[in-house]
Structure 1
Amino acid sequence: MNVRLFVLLFVAALTACATSPLGRSQLQLFPESQMAQMGVAAFQDMKTQQTLESSPQTNRYVNCVANAITAELPEPRDWEVQVFKDDSANAFALPGGKIGVHTGLLDVAKNQDQLATVIGHEVAHVLASHANERVSTSYIASTGLQLAQVAAGEPTPAKQQLFGLLGLGAQVGVLLPFSRTQESEADLLGLDLMAKAGFDPRASIPLWQNMGAAGGGNPPEFLSTHPSHQTRIGDLSRRLEIAMPIYEQAKQAGKRPRCG
């Protein structure tokens, strides 16, 4: 890297500081409009590669939970929700208003509140601009990643890397998990978000216990770099002091999702 390029990147890093919803400093080099374009491209790519779930009942159920969650965002918008026929206990949300849920998750999330725990967690990653943070960090480290061309182009290792950074798993490329800090942040934000929508935040504890059991004692791929079960459950238990009053207020306001 030449000196001039290094200086430009250094200045960009200094001027691209942002703050997460929980007050953590972040690096965000890209406008949300560009992140949204990349998210939309990644989602479309996945829909062409993966088998879509055709059951109307399953799709209605997942859409009901997801729509209740996204309605509580600071800037509500129409999110596209797609159920993928895949046995892995996985889900994701992308910039640009895209949510994907694997059918295997429905075997682990036993009810609407547990499903809301996962969807709330994934949407919280978008709310906290975690993908922007990861793409920005990668861009600083490797200027060879031409984002606009990569997102819309043919399958390449760079495209797989970009989709991994956005939050997609190994189905479409290299799995690049969120950091433990980002995962913990999404846990707490997601708990508040599901409570605002009228889902019981106490369901988060058995959900993550189910996730651990699904891995035969080892965390499944979805949890590979997440905080340990003990740390996660402890953090969520403490956060219930904040989330439960939010939940009670939501119920009083008539927010009582019945997704089945």
Structure 2
Amino acid sequence: MRLATVAASLLATLALVSCSKSPTGRSQLMLMPAQQLEQMGDQSYQQMKQELTVSSDAATNAYVRCVSDALIATLPEPYRSADWQVTVFENEAANAFALPGHNIGVYTGLLDVAENQHQLAAVIGHEIGHVIAEHSNERVSSNMMVGLGLQVGAIIADTQFDKENAALLMAALGIGAQVGILLPYSRTHESESDRLGLDYMADAGFKLDEAAQLWRNMSANSGTNPPEFLSTHPAPSSRIDAINNYIPQLTVASSTPNCQR
């Protein structure tokens, strides 16, 4: 009875959310209220501002804000009119992020890798893409469903196998879920955000070929990369090839932003 109840709940939930679509038309699993994720994003952002050193360099802040504003002006509503917060953190990591609730963070270490406004736009546009495609919701939802699936597996293991074989089955299910579902899901998100970021770059007038160069820079900066099937990100070569294949489909705005550091 317990197995039937859990399985029925799983199927009912999947049926309920199967109609969700990403900005690129991909089917999505969405279980969390968007407002709740925005509140969580706001809380995380405020916590980071308290725990990390916020840059006080006026020129750096103006530069990052200029690139961010150029991209935000191209976004679909309601994101275009939202009050986006942009913060530069004094940190040597080559990193940036965007959180639900319209929050953007850029580490100063990224500015050593992103050599110009176009490359910086590639990173910020990519991170904004994660927010607009609601990848955090999708990620949390997939983890919830995998957890529910593993509960079903545990019930089957307990009722159909002896203790030793049940433990082996659960270990195999855990590895299968990680490699077969969760990691590829993340790679899908990364690739989708690359495309969305390129869309925003094109609409804002940034040079698209600089996006591929940015990821070459990031690859050189990151050192040894894990095998693609065990990574949450596409391999650098796969990512660059996908970017170069997508660029010809886009039309770049005639005016180019003039963001200077």
TM-score range (shorter-chain normalised) is 0.7 to 0.9
Q: How does 1:67-106 map to 2 (within 5 A)?
A: 67-75=69-77, 76=80, 77-106=82-111
Partner of 1:170: none
Answer whether contact 1:85 1:102 (CA < 8 A) is retained.
yes
Give CA deviations for 1:38-71 in whole Å, capped at 9, x if unaligned: 1111111111111111111111110111111112
Question: Aligned-pair distance for 1:72?
Answer: 1.2
Answer whether contact 1:13 1:29 (CA < 8 A) is retained.
no
Aligned equivalents of 1:105 and 1:41: distance in 2?
Answer: 24
Partner of 2:198: 191
Specify the code of the residue in structure 2 equivalent to 1:73: L
Q: How does 1:8-23 map to 2 (within 5 A)?
A: 8-17=9-18, 18-23=20-25
Aligned equivalents of 2:7 and 2:48: distance in 1?
Answer: 35
Question: Which of 34, 37, 40 is matched with 1:35 structurally?
Answer: 37
Aligned equivalents of 2:21 and 2:48: distance in 1?
Answer: 30
Q: What secondary structure sits across from 1:179 in the alignment?
A: helix
How has the CA–CA distance of structure 1 residues 45 and 7 changed in structure 2, closer, same or farther, with 3 Å as cutoff?
Answer: farther
How has the CA–CA distance of structure 1 residues 109 and 219 changed in structure 2, closer, same or farther, with 3 Å as cutoff?
Answer: farther
Partner of 1:113: 118
Identity of aligned residues (%): 49
Question: Which of 183, 189, 213 is matched with 1:182 structurally?
Answer: 189
Question: Aligned-pair distance for 1:177?
Answer: 10
Partner of 1:154: none
Is there any run of 5+ residues in structure 2 with no aligned partner, and where?
A: 149-182
Q: How does 1:206-221 map to 2 (within 5 A)?
A: 206-216=213-223, 218-219=224-225
Give CA deviations for 1:174-202 in whole Å, capped at 9, x if unaligned: xx997111111111111111111111111
Aligned equivalents of 1:2 and 1:98: distance in 2?
Answer: 42
Aligned equivalents of 1:213 and 1:122: distance in 2?
Answer: 20
Question: Aligned-pair distance for 1:234?
Answer: 0.9
Answer whether contact 1:205 1:237 (CA < 8 A) is retained.
yes
Answer whether contact 1:93 1:100 (CA < 8 A) is retained.
yes
How has the CA–CA distance of structure 1 residues 65 and 89 changed in structure 2, closer, same or farther, with 3 Å as cutoff?
Answer: same
**Which shifted more, 110-119 or 41-50?**
41-50
Answer whether contact 1:117 1:190 (CA < 8 A) is retained.
yes
Q: What secondary structure sits across from 2:206 in the alignment?
A: coil
Across the aligned residues of Structure 1 and Structure 2, the Cα RMSD in angstroms comes to 2.1
* TM-score, scaled to structure 2: 0.77
Specify the code of the residue in structure 2 equivalent to 1:74: P
Specify the code of the residue in structure 2 equivalent to 1:256: T
Partner of 2:163: none
Larger radius of gyration: 2
Aligned equivalents of 2:202 and 2:136: distance in 1?
Answer: 24
Is there any run of 5+ residues in structure 1 with no aligned partner, and where?
A: 144-175
1:125 corresponds to 2:126? no
Answer whether contact 1:28 1:132 (CA < 8 A) is retained.
yes
Partner of 1:55: 57
- Matched residue pairs, number? 217
Would you tell me which structure has more helix in proportion to its own residues?
2
Partner of 1:172: none
Aligned equivalents of 1:207 and 1:177: distance in 2?
Answer: 23
